[in-house]
Amino acid sequence: MSPRAGTMRLACMFSSILLFGAAGLLLFISLQDPTELTPHQAPGIKFSIRPQQPHNDLPPGSSQDGPFKAATERVTRDLSSRAPRGLSLRMSQDPQAQLNVGARLRPRQRRRRLLIKKMPAAAALPANSSAGTLARPAPGALDGRWARLRETQRERKRVMREACAKYRASSSRRAVTPRHVSRIFVEDRHRVLYCEVPKAGCSNWKRVLMVLAGLASSTTDIQHDTVHYGSALKRLDTFDRQGILHRLGTYTKMLFVREPFERLVSAFRDKFEHPNSYYHPVFGKAILARYRANASREALRTGSGVRFPEFVQYLLDVHRPVGMDIHWDHVSRLCSPCLIDYDFVGKFESMEDDANFFLSLIHAPRNLTFPRFKDRHSEEARTTSRITHQYFAQLSTLQRQRTYDFYYMDYLMFNYSKPFADLY
């Protein structure tokens, strides 16, 4: 064989090997599940910080997050946990349809598109400064403190979801109605939904929302009546179905809560220990007529002078002479946290840290801070744990226990300790 013929034969063999290798690689890739090649997003706290589009690929359906025992159940619940809660979103009962849904939504980053990746706090959050009374920490102090706050949020939401899964499992299958979102205020510029919990800093939070919306330059410029009786802030239930769905699915949803007994005493002091043209004639007169023996004619005429034990009697009476009020209603009824997947759960007791963290997360203006001034009766001390115990000392052990039972879901859902040792 000539050298030239040998060289050509080697070249042909080498070309054949390359062609077979390329064909094998194409075959291997075609057999792979493309979702397995997709980089997975690290889990984190779900904050809808940047504008996001609603999930157009969601079929009708909604349910609560929770542990899953079967593949179809996992797909169904994972899908619904990312969708706006309810509002006629119903999953198909056809198993094959559910499997098809799962095939579309298998990429983990699609299921978790609202999650924030774990990343250095200084890079994730803007540097903060303060011109108000709640000073935000300097940039150098962000890393450790912000990491702790992120972990606190994860823990609060975990506890809340576990309580819902254990005691309110049926809520996840209900549809959101306008009543469920009637306490939620909307701020469109920063894409925030705030559920109002009275006596947990709600007046000042609504002031903050008004500044965020460009309706005022400073929280100190906004009067109490403007906050509570004006129409500057829209409620979520004023939007049509599509508007509600869009905002529930893409905005940052937050609420702030307070220790239930302390919140109750704060409401009593505000509404019944000061002149009030609504609560005295509407609630006070009915309470005195039902629960005070030999009430004076003057007391029955004005409704003034209700005592805390009488107020608690009204609260615990299943046949109340006058209905419930938002100032002492359960948070679980006001904000439906087992139905609406809140992104941020703040506490009145840690207002400074939680407010700073939230304002940083939504990229609020650097000069905007949460106001600390007392909205009403500023000369009076705030309701503290010590003051709360003084009021509850007026009750019997049974009354304290029944009041604790009344607010049990709020204690459980938001991880508050029993306020008295003899409670069970």
Q: Rounded to whole angstroms, how far apart are CA atoms 302 and 78?
A: 55
Number of domains in the chain: 1
- Residue 135 zone, left/alpha/beta (φ > 0; ψ -120 to 50; rest): beta
User: Is 80 inside a domain boundary?
Assistant: no
**406-410 LR contacts (CB < 8 Å, sep 24+):** 406/315, 406/316, 406/330, 407/260, 407/261, 407/264, 407/330, 409/163, 409/167, 409/168, 409/330, 409/332, 410/257, 410/260, 410/330, 410/331, 410/332
Higher pLDDT, 140 or 260: 260
In a domain? residue 282? no
* Structural domain contains residue 35: no
Which domain does 360 fall in, by range? 145-168+175-261+329-378
Question: Is residue 108, in this structure, part of any structural domain at all?
Answer: no
Q: What is the predicted pLDDT for the residue at 4?
A: 59
Answer whether residue 139 is part of any domain. no
Give the sheet arrangement for strand 252-257, strand by strand: 234-235, 184-187, 192-195, 252-257, 344-347
**Is the pTM of the predicted complex or chain greater than 0.75?**
no
Give the pLDDT score at 14: 66
Mean pLDDT, range 242-253, rounded to an integer? 95
* Residue 344 backbone phi and psi in degrees, to 5: -140, 130
Does 192 have pLDDT greater than 60? yes
| 387 contacts: CB under 8 Å, gap ≥ 6 | 265, 381
At residue 198, the pLDDT reads: 96
Nearest to 71 by CA among 100, 44, 92: 100
Is the residue at 344 inside a domain? yes
Residue 90 in domain: no
> Does 150 map to a domain?
yes
Q: What's the pLDDT at 225?
A: 80
CA distance 200 to 263: 7
